[in-house]
Amino acid sequence: MAQQPEAEDNSQRLDKWLWAARFYKTRGLAVEAINGGKVHLNKHRTKPSRNVKQDDVLTISKPPYEHVITVLDVAKQRRPASEAQLLYIESDDSLAKREKLKLELKDQPLGFRHDKGRPNKRDRRHIIKFTRKE
């Protein structure tokens, strides 16, 4: 029996597309993000099995950043990052907001560092001395 040629379908599952476009490292992470409401398709909450096609608008929230992108193409398999960037275009507003937020976060002081663990005797004395000043 001869195989029938498949119709050229220019759509792909959302979770596969996010994985192929390298927004998420695995499809499982993409599914979790979609089910968690972090990904919207054309301003609506969606499911991982929903098909995306050319000119669809995706809003991807990866705190503290948010990407608003337009789908340009679908990829049937995962390709290098340089080729994955050709699958979408990010809106100018989204790029500007992300750059602004990046600068704001850079200017903020770092919080308390927990890499040392419990304060030692000397550190506790400094903390007590600092908190007693009024």
Going from N- to C-terminal start, the domains of the chain cover 11-99
Asked if the model's pLDDT at residue 131 lies above 80, the reply is yes
- Report the topology of domain 11-99: 3.10.290
99 confidence band (pLDDT: 50, 70, 90): very high
In this prediction the pTM is: 0.74
- Alpha carbons 51 and 30: distance in angstroms, whole number: 14
Nearest by Cα to 68 from 48, 40, 29:
40
